[in-house]
Structure 1
Amino acid sequence: MVKFNWKKLGIATGLSLGLLLAGCSSDGGEDKADTIGKGQEVELAYVEWDSEIASTHVIGKVLEDLGYDVSITPLDNAVMWKSVATGDADAMVSAWLPATHQAQFAEYGDQMIDLGPNLEGAKIGMVVPAYMDVNSIEDLSDEAGKTITGIEAGAGVVQATERALEEYPNLGDWKLETSSSGAMATALGQAYEKEEEIIVTGWSPHWKFNKYDLKYLEDPKGVYGGEETINTMVREGLEEDMPELYQILDNFYWSMEDMEEVMVMIQDGESPEDAAAKWVEENEDKVAEWTEGIK
């Protein structure tokens, strides 16, 4: 059963069992859950960004349906990387590269295995409502009270924004207010409803681009980098210990549209567990690609 691992946080909870994957059977009609996972324990780490909540719950649900005993643990960004590097976690599907997690990759990347992108076309930057009459960071003057609404301190997009305040001369007396991903989204929604000015640290894929008409501010100095990928990272030795799990994680790949479907369901009130189970049930063909060749 996929479950939150709250050993570090002191709270116990769990994800409910879902429907087994339809069509996942071997030659005698035997469920893959009986032949693959066999109750092996799997520890997945993730950072509590909307995108990573979606991806981790979806891959966790797939693994659960294959018979693994999956625990998922939300961690601070740096701790997430360290947990895979030290083997405390088996994997994460939350590595934003090459820019957002550049510092973490430099510190821990050689202590784990990079399985490559599970999603392409990701992006970070300063985001504003489309109704704001500004299109570039270098054109900012006194919008939004010279304040940028950020997320958690230490997040890659926050670190990039701190560099932007140094790189762009027009932002010399601006300030960055850090909070949380949820607080940023709430502030954005409140400002958007009133058509007020607001500048947030943003990234895509994210449900806010489906709900609101937003735009990235141009970044002529390239502080935020170009398009990024979200990669799957696993601990050293995983391929030898659990080769089927390794292959499934290596096969895991989906689109921004896929991820945003899950994020929108969560934003609309579904639990991450229910949203993941619904997406898995409705996307059997895609899930079958991730489990192809697994017997």
Structure 2
Amino acid sequence: MKKHPLNRRIRLAGLALATGAALTAGAAQAQDKGTVHLAYVEWSSEVASTNVVRAVLEQAGYEVNMTSLSAAAMWQAMGSGDADAIVAAWLPTTHADYLDRVSDDVEDLGVNLDGTKLGLVVPAYSDVETIADLNDHADAFNGEIIGIDPGAGLMSLTEEVIDTYDLDLRLRSGSGATMTAALASAIDNEENIVVTGWTPHWKFARFDLKYLEDPQGVYGGAEQIHTIVRQGLADDMPEAHAILDAFEWTPEQMGEVMLMNQEEGSDPYENAKQWVEENQDIVASWLGES
């Protein structure tokens, strides 16, 4: 394993020993192994997965820094090497353009979650069944589609949907949080609303929803979420690389963490640590212990 000792850390360790201070085994191990920098987008699915990966890497003795970015900035950080890894790459469609731009600078470790979907989502009580039907009900939807952050690949696809279906609705950008807040408010009042949606997401457990049919196939079929690391990570931190390569879970497992994160006042990092502690059999396979 390639290590990166720093003179400053050695001096500090020596000072601690000289003064009788004791470093815990975990802290000493983390100092030896270094810091893994994780980037992510502020989607409920990626908040869940990135915090779980953080907790697992910390269990293995690494320090971990997490940075929340827009999708475009997240991929830019991967290309520049400012981030070591993401577990938030939606492929082959949503993030395809981003990956193309940095493909020479990153390594795709493959799928960490299978069974995703993108599309336009409405309450189950809505009379609308397909995207093509939206124009006939544009007034009922206030002439708008409620979206998320403007840099998201889902937003670019939705702009393409608007053009392909010649919709008389505009796409309103915001965030994942503002989208779900608008959805909850509309459902509480039994109003029509159409939002950009993806699976896995906790809103499908909380509300009775449906995807609108996409006969033109603009959103594509089911997608997968991939783990991407910077080139050179395998040489710099081979154990971290191996853990990231082994990380894989199901939509149901991710859903457990996402629902925990929706509890008022809950901390996604603390929830991730709790889930990791309660699912050591799964975590052991990521750590190469089983």
TM range (shorter): 0.7 to 0.9
Find the residue that maps to 2:116 and give its secondary structure: strand
Find the residue that maps to 1:38 and give its secondary structure: helix
Distance 1:144 1:54 in 2: 31
Q: Does 1:283 align with 2:279?
A: yes
Residues 33, 66 of structure 1: 8 Å contact kept: no
Distance 1:134 1:35 in 2: 57
Return the letter of the residue paired with 1:65: Q
Structure 1 partner of 2:200: 205
Q: Does 1:273 align with 2:266?
A: no
Return the letter of the residue paired with 1:91: A
**Could you list the runs of 5+ residues in structure 1 that have no partner in the other structure?**
1-30
1:202-239, Cα deviation, whole Å (9 max, x unpaired): 11100000000101101010111110010000000110
Residues 93, 230 of structure 1: 8 Å contact kept: yes
Structure 2 partner of 1:165: 162
Shift of 1:39: 4.4
Counting aligned pairs with the same residue, the percent is 50
Structure 2 partner of 1:148: 145
Distance 2:201 2:103 in 1: 25
Q: Does 1:174 align with 2:148?
A: no
Aligned residues, how many? 262
Return the letter of the residue paired with 2:274: K
Structure 2 partner of 1:131: 125
Q: Does 1:230 align with 2:225?
A: yes
Distance 2:110 2:70 in 1: 22
Distance 1:247 1:91 in 2: 12
Residues 43, 90 of structure 1: 8 Å contact kept: yes
Shift of 1:131: 0.5
Higher gyration radius (CA): 2
Q: What is the aligned counterpart of 2:98 among 92, 97, 104?
A: 104
Q: What does 1:21-60 correspond to in 2, within 5 Å?
A: 38-60=32-54
Q: Which moved further from structure 2: 160-169 or 134-143?
A: 134-143
Tell me which stretches of 4 or more aligned residues in structure 1 moved more than 3 Å: 31-39
Shift of 1:284: 0.7
Residues 148, 176 of structure 1: 8 Å contact kept: yes
Structure 2 partner of 1:15: none
Distance 2:112 2:200 in 1: 13
Return the letter of the residue paired with 1:107: R
Residues 33, 65 of structure 1: 8 Å contact kept: no
Shift of 1:37: 7.4
Q: What does 1:231-246 correspond to in 2, within 5 Å?
A: 231-246=226-241
Return the letter of the residue paired with 2:117: K
Shift of 1:145: 2.1
If each structure's helix is expressed as a fraction of its own residues, which one has the higher value? 2
Shift of 1:92: 0.5
TM-score, normalised by the number of residues in structure 2:
0.87
TM-score, normalised by the number of residues in structure 1:
0.85
Find the residue that maps to 2:193 and give its secondary structure: coil
Distance 1:37 1:228 in 2: 38
1:139-195, Cα deviation, whole Å (9 max, x unpaired): 2222412211111112111111100110013x1x22111111110000000001111
Find the residue that maps to 1:221 and give its secondary structure: coil
Please, what is the CA RMSD of the aligned residues?
1.7
Distance 1:139 1:214 in 2: 17
Q: What is the aligned counterpart of 1:191 among 179, 186, 195?
A: 186
Distance 1:32 1:247 in 2: 19
Q: Which moved further from structure 2: 101-110 or 249-258?
A: 101-110
1:23-77, Cα deviation, whole Å (9 max, x unpaired): xxxxxxxx88876873411111111111110000000011111111110011111
Shift of 1:282: 1.1
Distance 1:109 1:101 in 2: 12
Structure 1 partner of 2:60: 66
Residues 34, 66 of structure 1: 8 Å contact kept: no
